[in-house]
Amino acid sequence: MRAKGPAARTRPVLLVPGGSENEVSGSLNNNRGKRSPAGGLFLLREGTRVARRESIIHQVLSRIDELKRFGQSKHEAKQAEKERCRAAGEKWNPARVPGIFSHKTCDVYKEHCLNFARWARETYGCRTLEQAREHVGEWLMRPRERDGGPRSAWTVRVEAAALAKLYRCRSTDFGVELPRRSREDIHRSRVAREHDRHFSEAKNRDAVDFCRATGLRRKELIEARWRDVYRGEDGRLYVHVERGKGGRSREVPVLERYRERVWELRERARAEGRDRLFERVPNRADIHGYRREYASERYRELERERRREEPEREREVYRRRDGREFDREILRQVSRDLGHNREDVIARHYLD
């Protein structure tokens, strides 16, 4: 006769060493009658399924998903963090904000975090992020694979920033001294590269001139429409960027010597019935290099305007590490024109 009561509703299952009922996977029916390595039996209700412990890779993906703030205001998040630090008596770092607001940043950080998790699993057998954390310093300070030399300070700091997001801490909390970044070590858009030989500025003159005239990013350049180019009430030519970095819109002043050229491109697209100014933007185009050219010329334009209109104005100075001085107010304006919001980024990465 079939048994009735509690005994009929339970079955013995295998208990993993040092584990709990939450760490047992699969159908309990498959473990019927099995004894644990410790010699005991663990009884649960028949038919119950218990979740398997997440792999370290899945833990990374889950945490990255929790950090996503797409479509939210990074500025508002920074202000909230500033108030939190003030209330807690902590030093506020304007470059640090909880969450990830950019799709591109998210992809980059996720790649670095997954690489670390795989390395920690294969090298030390780590099954959780908590187990892997003590090895972060070793991962960051590892040498280059091709020649055993030190890796780029920029790469190391990006990895540290990614892991700091993952562990919800500061990059200085990993117990290693991160290498200092130097302008002399930057080669992007500073020196000729092999791929530069395969890009013809002459054949892509329209896109090159427009980028030099406006300093738009690649995505902004691709999405630029002829109706976005307009003359302002001050008589100057502007380009409206509907959705730039961080989802912010802005009005970009066209450099004075390119105004006629940009208007020509606008009118040509309108006459040809094209909504977009450019059908394609070559991948090999050095967009960042053209943005740097725009920043330098825009700074000089504003400097001349200030001297002409406010010759007695006392300027607030921003001093770079190499000793060069800049007008902080002009830096702020150039930063806004380029779609940034920090003058130090312009001084360190865009101005020679």
Q: What is the pLDDT along the chain (352 residues), one digit of tens a residue?
A: 444 444 444 444 444 333 433 333 343 344 444 444 444 444 444 455 545 678 999 999 999 999 999 988 888 888 898 899 999 998 888 778 889 998 989 999 999 999 999 999 999 999 999 999 999 999 999 998 877 888 888 899 999 999 999 999 988 899 989 888 665 554 444 444 454 456 788 888 999 999 999 999 999 999 999 999 999 999 999 999 998 887 889 999 999 999 999 999 999 999 999 999 998 888 888 898 999 999 999 999 999 999 888 888 788 888 888 888 999 999 999 999 999 888 888 888 888 7
Q: Is the pTM of this model over 0.85?
A: no
Total number of domains in the chain: 3
What residues have CB less than 8 Å from 238, skipping those under 6 apart? 229, 230, 231, 232, 251, 252, 253, 254
Please check whether residue 165 lies inside any domain of the structure. yes
Flag whether 187 is in a domain: no
For residues 156 and 64, membership in a common domain is answered with yes
Alpha carbons 154 and 137: distance in angstroms, whole number: 16
Bridge partners (DSSP) listed for residue 13: 42
Range of the domain at 201: 194-349
Looking at the fold, whether 176 and 203 belong to one and the same domain comes out as no
- Classify residue 5 as exposed, middle or buried by CB count within 10 Å of its CB (0-12, 13-18, 19+): exposed
Q: Quick one: 113 and 17 in the same domain?
A: no
Classify residue 177: in a domain, yes or no: yes
Q: Within this chain, do residues 201 and 233 fall inside the same structural domain, yes or no? A: yes
Domain membership flag for residue 72: yes
Integer Cα distance of 244 and 83 in angstroms: 27
Residues 252 and 203 both lie in one domain: yes
- Residue 281, C-beta contacts closer than 8 angstroms, at least 6 positions apart: 207, 218, 221, 222, 287
Residue 1 inside a domain? The answer is: no
One domain for residues 258 and 148: no
Q: Both 61 and 130 in a single domain?
A: yes
Q: Are residues 198 and 173 in the same domain?
A: no
Whether residue 341 sits in one domain with residue 199? yes
Compute the distance between CA of residue 248 and CA of residue 287 in angstroms, rounded to an integer. Answer: 20
Measured distance CA(94)–CA(65) in Å, rounded: 23
Write down the pLDDT at residue 312.
Answer: 80
Question: Is residue 132 included in any domain, yes or no?
Answer: yes
- Establish if 234 belongs to a structural domain: yes
The predicted pLDDT at position 197 comes to 57
DSSP structural state of residue 29? G
3-state helix, strand, coil in the chain (%, to 5): 50, 10, 40
User: Last residue of some domain: 151, 181, 211?
Assistant: 181
* CA pair distance 35, 19, nearest whole angstrom: 14
H or E segment at 11?
strand 10-13
Residue 98 confidence (pLDDT): 86
> Is 83 found in the same domain as 19?
no
